[in-house]
Chain A
Amino acid sequence: MSDRSQDGPRTSVPRLIITQDNEFWFTAAREGRLEIQRCGECRTLRHPPAPSCPRCRSFVWDTVESSRRATLHSYTVIHHPPDPAFEYPLAVGLVDLEEGTRLVADIAGIPHEELTPGMELEVGFAEHAHGDVLPQLRRPSGGAA
């Protein structure tokens, strides 16, 4: 892949920072589930995870599983600088999940000229840097989400 060193080039993607506040999300992702944190008091959804609800300040929370149906809110196509964890040009999207929260993930399998805010996408999962299984945006499969 590269002649830069015997071990190959190293990604600059930092290792995930797993904390007591976000561990549930990464555990679910590893198992192919997209979870959204929900306030145990006022039921407001929130992402990225945080220890308390910004609306009612409750520390009580549970999660809901997302349908993984999403629409593209904004996007970029990255050309430079390249990182060995990705192939370039690399499309990355910000989506509105059907449940109402947003999510960032890379976009796979869609020609970049087709990307338009508002288009329907689906959240799948794929291996990322350091072997982490994380969300990836794709064309909707058409079948059950």
Chain B
Amino acid sequence: MTDGGFSGKAAIAGIGATEFSKNSGRSEWRLACESVLAALDDAQIGVEEVDGFALFTMETNPEIAVARALGIPELTFFSRIPHGGGGACAPVQQAALAVASGVADVVVVYRAFNERSGHRFGAGPPPFAYTANTDQEYRNWINPYGLLTPAQQEAFLARLYMERYGATSADFGQISVLSRKHAANNPKAWFHGRPITLEEHQNSRMIADPLRLLDCCQESDGGQALVIVSTERARDLPHPPAVISAAAQGVGPQQISMSSYYREDIDRMPEVELVARQMWRQAGIGPDQVDAAILYDAFTPMVLLQLEEYGFCGRGEAKDFIAEGNLELDGRLPVNTHGGQLGEGYIHGVNGIAEGVRLVRGTSVNQPAKAIDTVLVTGGSPVPHSALVLTADH
């Protein structure tokens, strides 16, 4: 491949998850262990072979707790990525770097939480927000005025985008309807069998104008794990490898968590554009070569903004690109085929990575009829960002 040294050298060989629910009835620690075992079983790799973990900083189950509970004797690599869902794809980059450089052979990524029955991100600042240090100092400039949740903090961008490009709440609603349509066909989805209409979206209550309830992702309990090994080894395992052709992180100018309000254009996300450039350079492709995409959908407006930052359509054109049917299963770029975090479940983006793997394997419940060789998977925004390109092994 063309750049980065690690492009193409590692692959996702196993995926595994618990059920996605609103009340798991089990500890987050147990959810982590269950999902790790499921992913290793999927890859047909022995538990004792795991020698690395790559996680988020918001993960409450430390790698040593999972290693202890599962009797994993030795770890040579363990890392954690900050910025929550923005970093969703970054642990996979860490894993790929570790595997490609020989630091570890079997690296597991997991995200497990009781985000619905336990602490809900949509309810207010998370527990660590009350720590007085520079990491949380940015809250001084938003929280005292009532911007307390991600939906509220994102609303300024959505409003300005609407003003600037003539987008409407119904344009955002298209994403909600699409996700719920895909989820309706996915037995694993919380909203299995429950599609919605645009009218239902428009009638859903306002949360933080212009964001309505149905613009917001779910809050879920559950765990999702991924197993990363060398592409060479993955070829000998049961499933076709989902080769990590690109994996990148990005921080843009004057970046602030959820509130980069002091840039010239607050409705642009330079950190996303920076990750996009790395995707295309590492994978040696452009947006036209991407067959399907899993775009992080904590809130619907971010899907439109990402379509533009990744270059699938021009600035301000996402609403038309969607209305033309491009994101449908038979469209130019099928998006969030599992139902997204709006429809399947909110596992902080990691369930979307698993869907990217299924698309490459050809096993999505909503597998498009066309060949899917290249899938883009993205992390959250507007925070420090990350993404992956997963490709079939040809």
Binding site for B on A (CB under 8 A): 12-17, 19, 21-22, 47-48, 54, 73-81, 83, 85-86, 89-90, 92, 94, 101-102, 104-106, 117, 128-129, 132, 134
Contacts and interface: CB of A to CB of B under 8 A. Distances in A.
8 contacts: A13-B125, A13-B143, A16-B144, A17-B132, A48-B256, A73-B266, A74-B163, A80-B208
B165 interface: no
A102 B262 contact: yes
Given A17-B132, A101-B262, A79 B254 contact: no
Nearest to B135: A17
- Most chain B CB inside 10 Å of its own CB: which residue of A47, A81, A90: A81
A14 B129 contact: yes
Given A19-B134, A78-B208, A86-B146, 14 more contacts: A13-B125, A14-B125, A14-B136, A17-B137, A78-B146, A78-B147, A78-B152, A79-B207, A80-B207, A81-B124, A106-B146, A117-B163, A129-B144, A134-B145
Interface stretch (B56-64, B154-162, B372-380): B154-162
B328 to A, nearest CB: 31
Contacts of A19: 134, 137
A48 B208 contact: no
Contacts of B152: 76, 78, 92
B139 interface: yes
B209 A92 contact: no
A14 B144 CA distance: 8
- Most chain A CB inside 10 Å of its own CB: which residue of B144, B149, B262: B144
B265 to A, nearest CB: 11
A77 B261 contact: no
Interface of B: 122-125, 129-130, 132-134, 136-149, 152, 155-157, 159-160, 163, 205-210, 213, 254, 256, 259, 261-262, 266
Nearest to A130: B144
Contacts of A48: 138, 140-141, 256, 262
Contacts of A80: 205-208, 213
A134 B145 CA distance: 9
A12 B152 CA distance: 14
Given A14-B139, A74-B266, A75-B156, A104 B145 contact: yes
- Most chain A CB inside 10 Å of its own CB: which residue of B145, B149, B155, B261: B145
Contacts of A54: 254
Contact of A74 (B122, B133, B143, B159): B159
Given A14-B130, A48-B141, A128-B144, A77 B208 contact: yes
Nearest to A78: B208
A86 B157 CA distance: 22
A92 to B, nearest CB: 5
B209 A76 contact: yes
Contacts of B133: 17
Nearest to A46: B262
B228 to A, nearest CB: 36
A69 B106 CA distance: 59
B168 to A, nearest CB: 16
Contacts of B266: 73-74, 94
B113 to A, nearest CB: 19
B124 A83 contact: yes
A77 B206 contact: yes
Contacts of A76: 147, 152, 155-156, 159, 208-210
A100 to B, nearest CB: 11
Contacts of A78: 146-147, 152, 155, 207-209
